[in-house]
Every structure is written in structure tokens, then in C-alpha cells.
Amino acid sequence: MGVQKKTRKFAQVKRIIGQRDSRLKKNQETDKDAQKKNKNDDEVIREVPQVSSALFFQYNTALVPPYQVLVDTNFLSHTVQKKLELLPTMMDCLYAKCIPIITDCVMAELEKLGPKYRIALRIARDERWERLKCGHKGTYADDCIVDRVARHKIYIVATNDRDLKRRVRKIPGVPIMSVARGKYVIERLPDAPEK
């Protein structure tokens, strides 16, 4: 019996981890390096845009009265067609003070449209509204508005343009105002009253 025990102990001691064993730390590190190199070659890194800190889920905490409303060309023309006043109707819709903002692109679009939109252009040129300078090339107002809203989520977008609405809906936390049923309606504003 004594002989068997000795051989058993001897065999247990003799079992040593080999130099190329995958359980050794240096071998694990080299394996990881090799895997990283393979991954970098195969995978494309997915970049997720940084979400604004003002968003609480879909609720935008940066939107507080006085509301800043970016007005689109289409919205102004519908306002003229329905014979609505811009500021009082906006205030009736939001129950708060609001500042209509008109960009240079919207002004350029209205000027291009000609005499048919002269009343909308006169409304847009009013001294009471705030004007925003555009530092980009071209005068396509939709791109300008979407870009500005994506960068700073402190605006409400006022438009009746379907394509622009669709593009703005993809940006979280940006409400949309439009002309419907002879008044202004707002969508995606959490504090808005239900009518």
C-alpha cells in the first residue's frame, strides 16, 4: 500500500503546466491581441450619436417658455391662407409666450416664390420676429431647419411640409407645430393640452 501512495503523490507533483498552455497569462494576452487584430479587420465600428443631456426619454427639458418657434415657408403660406395672425394664434396654441424665429433661408425661399407669396413675405419681414443668420451654402430651408434643430434641441418647428415633418420626427424631443382646422396644433409636446 505504501508504494501506491508514493507514486500517486509523485504523479501529482510531476503535472506541471506546459509553456504553451492557454491557461498561462502571457499566452492569454497574446491570444487577445491576435483576436483584436482579427476583429479590427473584420468589423466596422458602429458610431452612435451623443444624445442631448436635456432629454429625459422623449421629454425635452430644454423646452421652456418663452418657446422659440422656427417658422418654415410652408407654415407662413398656410397661415396667410387661413387668415390667422402669427403670434396670437401661437400663444393660443401653447398657452405661453413664444418667439417666432425666421432664418435667412426661409426669407430667401419666400423671395424666390414671387408675388404670390408677398403677404407671407411681409409677415416674415416683421420687426417683432427674431432673425437667424445662416452660415451655409444654398437656400434650402428644410435642410437648414433640420440641421439647426438636430444641433440645438431648444426649438419648436412650425411647418406644414410632410417631408420636413417626417425628417423632424426622427429627431427625439423636437415638437412640431402645424396649421390645421383653422388653428395651430402642436404634436410631441408633453405639456400640451389635449383638445
Residue-wise pLDDT tens digits, 93-123: 999 999 999 999 999 999 999 999 999 999 9
Specify the CATH number for 55-187; select among 3.40.50.1010, 3.40.50.620, 3.30.200.20, 3.40.50.150.
3.40.50.1010
Distance CA 99, CA 104 (A): 16
Domain ranges of the chain: 55-187
pLDDT in tens, 41-60: 656 667 777 777 777 766 78
Residue of higher predicted confidence among 132 and 23: 132
How many angstroms separate the CA atoms of 134 and 103, rounded? 7
Which of the two residues, 188 and 103, has the higher pLDDT score?
103
More confident residue, 193 or 29: 29
- The pLDDT of residue 1: 54
From the CB of residue 152, how many other CB atoms can be counted at a distance below 10 Å? 12
Phi, psi at residue 43, to the nearest 5°? -90, 150
